[in-house]
Amino acid sequence: MKNSLQDILLTLPLNQLSFVTHLPKEKVYYKTIIEDVPDGWLQEPTLLMIKCHECLNEIRTYKIFNTLMQDSNFVGLVICSYNPVFIPTQMQSLFQQFQLPIIILYDPSLSSLFQKVDEKLYNHNQLSLELSGFIQKGFVNIASELVKALDTPMLYLDSRDQLVWQKGKEDSLKEANRWLNVFYRNLKNDTSLNTPSNDSGKSKEEAHFFKPYFINIGGLSQQTLIVSGDLVDWQKEMIDKFIGLTALLLQIEELFQAQQEQIQDIFVYELLYSKFESRSFMIKQGKIWGWNLERPHYLLIVNMKLLDDCKEVNSLEVISSFIKEHNESLIVFPFQGEIVVLVEAMEAQLKGEIKRYIVEIGNQIEEALSANWTGYEFYIGIGELYEDSTYLNKSYQEAKMAMRFGKNWFENKKVIHIQDLGILQLIINLDNDFLYDYIERYLGALIDSNQKNETDYLYTLKVYFQNHRRINELSEILYIHPNTIRYRLKKIEDTTGLQLNDTNDAMNLEIAVRLFYFLKDV
């Protein structure tokens, strides 16, 4: 008797499968399974199952897999391996061209199931084990494998029909998103598939290009998976299995909430670390959490430091909630040990008002936090404002840079804007070795002198530049007579060989001092 490869795959845990090439829509039948590369032509429909590294290395050679392509009785390749397997690109292309599947089975003990001929293969007592593997691997990762296996895009919508994630080839995703915008709501509302524009035969045909599968999560909510509309029965069964396991996964309230938080974490990471290629997709995803990213936003980072004599410990979530309650218009979320705050920009602000406006908000947040959590010291970094929210990743890096530098340079300043860095904005992204060389060139002798003589001329120089070289102000801050200040500055000139009244020398010294304090904790 013959076995159907697709029917066998339906009985295997989805988390144990990976698909290198698409599965043919038409069922693939085989009579024999072999575990070694054949020497000659195969005599009947045969599935090759590789279980050893030597056989895998052998089949990777072009001559071997090219010969297999020409054998009409060769139906596909299953590789049993506990670890991911490298398949040469040329080999993948040839298998795909001849519509031959390459499947990776991560649990070799399941390989015996490929020998079965009984149609009732699925043992329901394995459901708990399969669900456990489904949870561990993650349903988004499993969806990515099914996209490859079934050659279909996947769009996942939440209970409000907002797009949460999408998987598939770029062209097919564009078509699926167009279908979502034009046909989906009519299909859901059963309005006879009428399109907004016309009711032509072509429009009716297009309405069936994709199909929504509704995921009922224990009556708590309904989510939706959209796939190609031309799937055959066994493909629909695989989608149905995926949906059933997804519903079980999300039915547990804690897991459902964790899944939403995980999706948000992925979105936030992409928002802050990589520029979204599609502005519209970014805006749609932001709406899931009520974020209006169509408008430009300021970005602030709140960093908190526990004081040495304080035992008070509060979670980022608690402090984030406090900021949100303090101003409900803010978008607030914890991220990588800090708190990110997005503030929607006001309409038609003058350029001079932009920095003043957001620094004032930053000061309000810092004062409120410091008043409620006296055991902490709070610092806030602010990035530039960009008209397009896809550049929030750039503003995030600027805010981190402003806060990192501000802690060391501005001793009494808790809210630092990127513009406060001045000329350093242009050079601090250079290679650290280059910056250290610059510091050594202008401050090396002074640093050595400080260590040898236990003086603190570097700090004197820092305060000197911070106060715009006004000796009287410097004298008041350091509680030192002006003549003593002049003496110290003369010693600095003698040690460095630079003149503070020379414009170029003073500029180089100031940049070097700023860089020294910027890199002090690196």
Q: Return the pLDDT at 192.
A: 46
**CATH code at position 41:** 3.40.1390
CA angle 13, 17, 20 (to 5 degrees): 160
**CATH code at position 500:** 1.10.10.2840
Report the chain's terminal Cα–Cα distance, integer Å: 69
In a domain, 168, yes or no: yes
Same structural domain for residues 304 and 379? yes
Beta strand spans in 307-345 (E): 331-335, 338-344
Q: Return the pLDDT at 190.
A: 56
Same structural domain for residues 404 and 437? no
What range does the domain containing 466 cover? 432-519
Residue whose token pair is 């564009």: 174
In a domain, 203, yes or no: no
In a domain, 270, yes or no: no
Q: Return the pLDDT at 352.
A: 66
Q: Return the pLDDT at 145.
A: 96
Q: Which two tokens stand for residue 333?
A: 């979320």
In a domain, 202, yes or no: no
Same structural domain for residues 329 and 443? no
Looking at 98, 119, 140, the residue that finishes a domain is 119
Q: Return the pLDDT at 349.
A: 64
Q: Return the pLDDT at 433.
A: 82
The backbone torsions φ and ψ at residue 62, rounded to the nearest 5 degrees and listed phi first, read -60, -40
In the chain, which residues have pLDDT < 70? 1, 116-125, 185, 187-204, 253-256, 258, 308-314, 348-352, 428-429, 521-522
Looking at 425, 451, 481, the residue that finishes a domain is 425
- DSSP characters over 466-495: HTTT-HHHHHHHHT--HHHHHHHHHHHHHH
Q: Return the pLDDT at 314.
A: 64
Q: Return the pLDDT at 484.
A: 87
In a domain, 277, yes or no: no
**CATH code at position 236:** 3.30.450.40
Q: What is the pTM of this model?
A: 0.52
The total of structural domains in the chain comes to 4
Same structural domain for residues 67 and 160? no
Same structural domain for residues 245 and 336? no
Same structural domain for residues 443 and 514? yes
In a domain, 275, yes or no: no
In a domain, 502, yes or no: yes
Q: Return the pLDDT at 188.
A: 63
Same structural domain for residues 408 and 302? yes
Q: Which two tokens stand for residue 384?
A: 């530039």
Looking at 101, 119, 137, the residue that finishes a domain is 119
Same structural domain for residues 379 and 345? yes
Q: Which residues pair with 339 in a beta bridge?
A: 302, 334
Same structural domain for residues 449 and 358? no
In a domain, 272, yes or no: no
Same structural domain for residues 38 and 135? no
Same structural domain for residues 317 and 407? yes
Same structural domain for residues 156 and 55? no
**CATH code at position 372:** 3.30.70.270
